[in-house]
């Protein structure tokens, strides 16, 4: 095992999230390498348990507020200890670590763009664009998870096309199995098969905008009171927006029609419990939760941002609405609650699309090709 090349995955935090879940899937399935994870902030022990490779080391630097580059000496110390063959940073928060990786002489250096932060939706910040332009010289390959991100790197950051690889997320279609009917779930208040349950999964933070889904749910029920008997909402996850969601539901007198179970690890069971999946994000890269919902044969209602348009086929596997507009989400909720057969048909079309276009095997193979190609080229140069 010691002879295998070590890949050091560097990110801001290794905790619940789509980006982090993608790293877990990659480590668990990408053989022929050793792996280590370094978080500038921290690696959450419970989340680390999802990695099934016992030889994987997790490192937390506990970065204080301020410039990331101040962590360079500690990062260099870890590079000297680990001697990785390849460093793979992810998103802007970790990009500055490419400089010490170059200084140390790491053989192959990869950076991935997975999506946008709330502070820079769509990558409009001149400072962030300048930062990416400066650090691109220390990166051998940049990975874009969506066409939107690929165009940004090529056109706004100026990365040469030969240095950009497009690798979409993949979904485990065995773990996230298709179910024609929604399944009951232990502890759920909504196991009545006659209910239409709209659910979402994700960290409850501003960019995910669960409050907008709650507002749309409130508007849908208030505008069509008969939906009180049928429409239900489930918000899986935890974070800063949870209290806001609860308060809005309380104010509308609809708390009994919604369930907020907190962060859960049994996401496949929740997907099977939903009638449809909703994602009201203000921005996305390629959403793992959309892919998981598709694999479970659930129609997807998502905002028309980032890579969502590459995943959801309007009217075929789900619906796309403008970001930040609860009335448009409410309109769709009302329609879908009254057309469960059409929604079910879209869900099965989504499953077929997930199997054909977004397999986990294809994603892992693409990263293997990228890593192996870089290491062979650098070893022979």
Residues 206 and 71 in one domain: no
Tokens (6 digits) for 120: 């820079």
User: Is 184 contained in some domain?
Assistant: no
pLDDT beyond 80 at 128: yes
Query: What radius of gyration, in Å, describes the C-alpha atoms of the chain?
Result: 21
At residue 288, φ and ψ (nearest 5 deg) are: -65, -40
User: Is 188 contained in some domain?
Assistant: no
**Whats the size of the chain, residue-wise?**
381
Of the listed ranges 67-71, 279-283, 374-378, the least confidently predicted one is 67-71
User: Is 64 contained in some domain?
Assistant: yes
pLDDT beyond 60 at 226: yes
Residues 263 and 323 in one domain: yes
Q: What is the pLDDT of residue 3?
A: 84
Domain count, the chain: 2
Residues 239 and 108 in one domain: no
Residues 161 and 215 in one domain: no
User: Is 318 contained in some domain?
Assistant: yes
Contact status, residue 276 vs residue 299, Cβ threshold 8 Å = yes
pLDDT beyond 90 at 88: yes
149-199 pLDDT, tens digit per residue, is 999 999 999 999 999 999 988 999 999 999 889 999 999 999 999 999 999
pLDDT beyond 90 at 283: no
Rounded to whole angstroms, how far apart are CA atoms 201 and 302? 12
Average pLDDT on 259-288 reads 94
Classify strands 57-60 and 141-144 as parallel, antiparallel or unpaired.
Answer: unpaired
CATH number for the domain spanning 262: value is 3.40.50.2000
Q: pLDDT band at 121, cuts 50/70/90?
A: low
Residues 348 and 211 in one domain: yes
State the pTM of this model. Answer: 0.80
Q: b/e map of 336-352 (b: 16 or more CB within 10 Å)?
A: bbeebeebbebbebbbe
Q: pLDDT band at 70, cuts 50/70/90?
A: confident
Which domain covers residue 297, as residue numbers?
196-357
Residues 351 and 261 in one domain: yes
User: Is 323 contained in some domain?
Assistant: yes
Residues 14 and 55 in one domain: yes
At residue 201, φ and ψ (nearest 5 deg) are: -135, 130
User: Is 348 contained in some domain?
Assistant: yes
- Dihedral of CA atoms 317, 289, 354, 192 in degrees, nearest 10, equals -60
Tokens (6 digits) for 90: 């992810």
Q: What is the pLDDT of residue 63?
A: 92
Residues 242 and 122 in one domain: no
Q: What is the pLDDT of residue 119?
A: 67
pLDDT beyond 70 at 72: yes
User: Is 189 contained in some domain?
Assistant: no
Average pLDDT on 59-73 reads 88
Residues 307 and 319 in one domain: yes
Residues 363 and 352 in one domain: no
Q: pLDDT band at 1, cuts 50/70/90?
A: very low
At residue 138, φ and ψ (nearest 5 deg) are: -95, 0
Residues 145 and 258 in one domain: no
Q: pLDDT band at 2, cuts 50/70/90?
A: low
Residues 165 and 286 in one domain: no
Helix (H) or strand (E) holding 79: helix 72-82
User: Is 42 contained in some domain?
Assistant: yes
Rounded to whole angstroms, how far apart are CA atoms 259 and 265? 16
């Amino acid at each position: 095992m010691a002879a295998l090349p070590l890949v050091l995955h560097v990110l801001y935090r290794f905790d619940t999230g789509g980006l982090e879940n993608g790293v877990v899937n990659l480590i668990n399935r990408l053989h022929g390498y050793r792996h280590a994870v370094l978080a500038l902030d921290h690696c959450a022990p419970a989340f680390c348990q999802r990695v099934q490779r016992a030889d994987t080391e997790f490192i937390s630097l506990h970065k204080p507020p301020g410039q990331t580059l101040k962590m360079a000496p500690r990062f260099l110390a870890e590079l000297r200890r680990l001697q990785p063959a390849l460093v793979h940073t992810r998103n802007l928060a970790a990009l500055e670590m490419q400089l010490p990786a170059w200084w140390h002489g790491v053989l192959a250096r990869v950076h991935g763009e997975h999506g946008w932060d709330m502070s820079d939706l769509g990558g409009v910040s001149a400072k962030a664009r300048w930062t990416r332009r400066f650090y691109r010289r220390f990166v051998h390959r940049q990975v874009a998870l969506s066409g939107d991100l690929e165009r940004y790197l090529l056109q706004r950051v100026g990365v040469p096309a030969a240095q950009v690889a497009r690798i979409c997320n993949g979904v485990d279609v065995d773990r996230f199995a298709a179910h024609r009917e929604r399944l009951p779930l232990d502890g759920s208040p909504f196991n009545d098969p006659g209910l239409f349950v709209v659910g979402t999964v994700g960290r409850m933070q501003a960019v995910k905008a669960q409050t907008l889904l709650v507002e749309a749910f409130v508007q849908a029920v208030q505008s069509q009171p008969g939906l009180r008997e049928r429409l239900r909402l489930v918000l899986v996850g935890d974070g800063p927006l949870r209290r806001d969601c609860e308060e809005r539901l309380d104010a509308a007198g609809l708390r009994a029609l919604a369930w907020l179970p907190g962060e859960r690890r049994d996401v496949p069971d929740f997907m099977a419990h939903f009638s449809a999946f909703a994602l009201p994000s203000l921005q996305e890269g390629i959403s793992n939760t959309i892919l998981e919902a598709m694999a479970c044969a659930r129609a997807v209602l998502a905002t028309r941002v980032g890579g969502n348009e590459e995943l959801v086929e309007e009217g075929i596997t789900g619906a796309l609405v403008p970001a930040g507009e609860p009335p448009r989400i409410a309109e769709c909720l009302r329609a879908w609650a009254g057309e469960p057969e059409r929604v079910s048909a879209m869900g099965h079309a989504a499953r077929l699309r997930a199997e054909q276009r977004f397999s986990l095997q294809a994603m892992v193979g693409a990263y293997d090709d990228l890593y192996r190609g870089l290491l062979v080229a650098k070893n022979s140069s």
